[in-house]
Structures are given as structure tokens and as C-alpha cells.
Amino acid sequence: MTKNVLVVDDEPTITLSVKEGLEYLDADFDVTCVKSGEECIDLLKNNQLPDLILLDIMMPGMNGWDVAAEIRKNPEWGKIPIVFLTAKTDSDSKSFGKIVSQDYVEKPFELEDLKNRIDRLLGY
């Protein structure tokens, strides 16, 4: 069964490594990458709904907090699990992130750990 994951991060090395890494570890992963919160919302508006969203917090324009809030406002989108994938390691961000998302992963991270977290959230 295909696991559709959307990676939202303005850093191309992160999106590429997550996409290639997850798809290498498990052929069932289908990873789409966008570089901004605005692009994420546009995909959702076009009914391109992933099974899970990996979301950076610190991005220009619409940051991860804003994207998560926008997603949670929509009843259909609000069912999509969000995992923050971020370099924000302060305790306030971690605490808030755990309230508004299903998981909070700090950069740098291990791809195998990220895969296991995604699998757990998707029920695999």
C-alpha cells in the first residue's frame, strides 16, 4: 500500500535527502516535495491530499506554524497527520509543536527513525 508523504521545507538538501532516503528504505513510500507553505496549501486546495505531512517550521513567507493552523481549519485536511521536521530545538517550540502536531522531529535526524515514526502514525 502506497504511503503518500508531503515534505514542506525550503531547504532543497533536506527535501531531496528525505525523498530519496524514505523511498530507498521502503518502496511503498511516494514522497512529494514543495519548498514553501504556500505551495503546500495550493496542493491541498487542488485535492492532492497526502497521508502525512512533514513540515519545517522556519520558512520564508508562510512558516510551519501558519501552515499547520491553516490545515487544521479545514475539516478534510485536518485529518492529515503533521510531523514537524525542524531545527527549532527550544523548549517552547517543542512543547507547542507536540500540541499542534502528531510528532516533532529535530534536525539532524536519522532517516530510519523518521521512517519508523511515519509508519507508526500511519498504522504500519
| Phi-psi group of 61: left, alpha or beta (phi > 0 → left; psi -120 to 50 → alpha; rest → beta) | left
Asked whether the predicted pLDDT for residue 98 surpasses 90, the reply is no
In this prediction the pTM is: 0.96
Which helix (DSSP H) or strand (DSSP E) does residue 8 occupy? strand 3-8
pLDDT in tens, 103-114: 999 999 999 999
pLDDT in tens, 16-31: 999 999 999 999 999 9
13 CB neighbour count, 10 Å cutoff: 8
Query: β-strand 29-34 against 82-86: which pairing, if any?
Result: unpaired
How far is it, in rounded angstroms, from Cα 26 to Cα 111?
11
Helices (H) and strands (E) in the chain, counts: 5, 5
pLDDT in tens, 63-94: 999 999 999 999 999 999 999 999 998 999 99
CATH of domain 3-118: 3.40.50.2300
Domains of the chain, residue spans: 3-118
